[in-house]
Structures are given as structure tokens and as C-alpha cells.
Amino acid sequence: MNNSNYFEVLHKDKHTSARLGKIKTYHGDITTPVFMPVGTQASVKTLSPQDLKDNDVEIILGNTYHLYLRPGHSVINGLGGLHKFIGWDRPILTDSGGFQVFSHSDLRKINKDGVEFRSYIDGSKHFMTPELSVEIQESLGADIIMIFDEPAPYPSTYEYTLKSTRLTTEWAKRCKARHNKKGQLLFGIVQGGIYEDLRKNSIEDIVGIGFDGYAIGGLSVGEGKEQMYQMTGYTAPLLPSDKPRYLMGVGTPEDIVRCVSMGVDMFDCVMPTRNARNGCLFTSNGKVNIRNARFIKDENPLDPNCNCYTCKNFSLAYLRHLFVSDEILSLRLNTIHNIHYYMNLMKRIREAIVKDRMSELVKNLATDFH
């Protein structure tokens, strides 16, 4: 695959910044806007690869930090790479491990060379550098990999965020210098917290280095919803229009619709799978708490407007029974539905863009995605 012609914008919505596109990778094409289910430890929890394919999932996300600790990238590489290891022949994106190191703040120490951290599994000490992060991701064989960054927590002072953003830039240069796997796309990550001038500086620095795509990092880490929208709306238009734009760790159906209208192409979040395991299901009539006692004799499907395996075959009464009985099948059926909901949401978004009706989708957020 030639990295120079891997992304194409197919259509731009006339009334918003939304765009329909296609990313070409070694393991197939990805139609954007796209949502990537999170498979942290080489598995989208409770689902098989076939379940994902049955629900039209084009790309999944794996986590460098977790796979480095267990079973180890050299083990996976020796077994033929991540695709073969998990039985998935479609694209995979791996994050760099930066966010996981950030989220285990009590177990890590940051310096200019990298991050020293202790394993959450056994307490063993490790040192992650930008070079090692790229080495791991190359060994895993992902189609799209991310630079190693240092996301500033929220809230952070201007001074801390400035230091963090500059460190991310230096690490980005090192990742770019280390990366040499042909056909593998390397994305840069823009930081800057909630400070527009730092975001602008980060964009100039990261784009100046030159990457195959650009991610907006450091959001959805505790800031308010309006702050997240403000920063996304400010950052996305400043990113190159001929490269994919990826908003990391976002989000709700409403978040996705709004941010697509701002020009974002790629999303990931644990929300559909985690909510499913907690009994919270997304439907065309709003969220459903499946443990609710009012479903105990309800013969209706979860969502009459959904054609997923769960809704076509099982009643609300049965889904509730499985959940309150702690049956493993409950987690799988709930997750199948939520993933289907998200994939169908992305289809609706892409159709709206083609018809230049994205603004209508945004306008109807309160009724369609409540």
C-alpha cells in the first residue's frame, strides 16, 4: 500500500464541516466517519470477531500498554501478529499507551526520555519511551498506530499543559524518526488541554513534523461537555483537510453527531460495550435500563426499530431475566445490540452527509439521541 494516496474525501456536506471519506489500509478500506469499538486486551469484550463482522464493524482498536504487559508484543509477533492472533482480518488501530500511563498516575513518573511505570498486573517496573511504543505497535502489526503522547489531566494549569504539550511534540519527533514499517500509517496527536493558543501551537508543531493522520487528544478527560465541543470545534478545522481527523475517547451518540459536523472522521470509546455490561442499552426510543422491574413480563423486543440479533430474537423480559440472573449471555446480547446501534448511527451519519442533511441530524439531537 502506498502511504501517499491512502485517504480520500468523497463528499463534503454543504451546510456543516462533515465529510464522507475512505481510508485505505493493508487489511481493507475504512469508510469515514467511523466508530472503532475498543478491544483493549485484543478482544472487544464478550464479542467474537464474527459478531463484529455481523454488525458491520470495519476497524477495531487495540491497546499497546495492555498488550505489552500481557502477553507481550514479542509473543504476539511470534504468533504471526495481532490480526492472526485474534482471528481478525480487517483493520486495527493501536493507541500508543500514553492515555493508559496517564490514567495510572499513581504508578508512573514522567521525564523527558519517557515514562517509568509499574505494571497494574504484578507491580513490575517498566520504562516506556516513544521508540519502544512504536516498536511495540510495529511488532503487533496494526494498520494505524499512534505517537506516544503525554495527555495533560483535567484540570491542569496553563504552565503544566504547556510543558506537557511541548513534551508531546518532542516525543512525536522521536516516534516519526523511529517508525519504518511500510504500509503502516502513523498518526500524530494534538494536545493543549483547554487552552486555544496551546492547541494552535501544538497543531503547528505536530503538522510540521508530518503524519498520515491527526488525532485530537486530551479531551473527554473530565472537562465539561461544552468545553470538549469548544476545543474540538476550534481544533478540527485547523487540521489538514487531506488527512483523517481522529477525536480520541469520544463518545456518546450526541458527541459523535456534533463532532462529525465539526469535521471529525474517526471515533473510539468504551461506552457502547461498558454500558452494555452495566445493563444500559441505546435504543431509538432513548436509553433503556434493562434491570428495570417493568420489563419482567414484557414480550416486546428491546428496540422494535432495530434488526440486530438481540432484538430480532429475544424479548425485554428475557434480556432482563438474563441480566438480573448474572448470566454471561446477557453481556453478549447487550453488547451485540449496543455495537449494532453505534454502527447504525454511523450509517445514518454517512447517509446524512451524502444527502447534505447533516445539519438536520444535529438539529434533531434532542429527539433522536436522547
Q: What is the CATH number of the domain that holds 45?
A: 3.20.20.105
- The reply to whether 215 and 330 lie within a common domain is no
- The reply to whether 360 and 260 lie within a common domain is no
In the set 95, 149, 205, 265, the catalytic residue is 95
- The reply to whether 210 and 248 lie within a common domain is yes
Whether the per-residue pLDDT at 247 is higher than 90: the answer is yes
Q: What is the pLDDT of residues 11-55, one digit of tens each?
A: 999 999 999 999 999 999 999 999 999 999 999 999 999 999 999
Q: Which of 225, 249, 269 represents a domain boundary (last residue)?
A: 269
- The reply to whether 242 and 355 lie within a common domain is no
Q: Which of 269, 294, 322 represents a domain boundary (last residue)?
A: 269
The predicted pLDDT at position 106 comes to 73
- The reply to whether 47 and 161 lie within a common domain is yes
How many domains does the chain fold into?
Answer: 2
Q: What mean pLDDT is reported for the chain?
A: 95
Q: Which of 244, 269, 294 represents a domain boundary (last residue)?
A: 269
- Cα radius of gyration rounded to whole Å, the chain: 20
- The reply to whether 132 and 265 lie within a common domain is yes
Active-site residue flag, 95: yes
- The reply to whether 332 and 291 lie within a common domain is yes
- The reply to whether 128 and 277 lie within a common domain is no
SS3 per-residue string spanning the chain: CCHHHCEEEEEECCCCCCEEEEEEECCEEEEECEEEEECCCCCCCCCCHHHHHHCCCCCEEEEHHHHHHCCCHHHHHHCCCHHHHHCCCCCEEEECCHHHHHHCHHHEEEECCEEEEECCCCCCEEEECHHHHHHHHHHHCCCEEECCCCCCCCCCCHHHHHHHHHHHHHHHHHHHHHCCCCCCEEEEEECCCCCHHHHHHHHHHHHHHCCCEEEECCCCCCCCHHHHHHHHHHHHHHCCCCCCEEECCCCCHHHHHHHHHCCCCEEEECHHHHHHHCCEEEECCEEEECCCHHHCCCCCCCCCCCCCHHHHHCCHHHHHHHHHCCCHHHHHHHHHHHHHHHHHHHHHHHHHHHCCCHHHHHHCHHHHCC
- The reply to whether 241 and 309 lie within a common domain is no
Active-site residue flag, 51: no
Band the pLDDT of 99: cuts 50, 70, 90: confident
- The reply to whether 286 and 207 lie within a common domain is no
The predicted pLDDT at position 88 comes to 98
In the set 143, 255, 268, 303, the catalytic residue is 268
Residue 265: domain span = 3-269
Q: State the Cα–Cα distance between residues 266 and 270, nearest whole angstrom.
A: 14
The predicted pLDDT at position 175 comes to 98
Q: What is the pLDDT of residues 137-178, one digit of tens each?
A: 999 999 999 999 999 889 999 999 999 999 999 999 999 999
The predicted pLDDT at position 102 comes to 67
- The reply to whether 41 and 179 lie within a common domain is yes
- The reply to whether 195 and 308 lie within a common domain is no
Q: What is the pLDDT of residues 317-329, one digit of tens each?
A: 999 999 999 999 9
Could you tell me the pTM of the whole model?
0.97
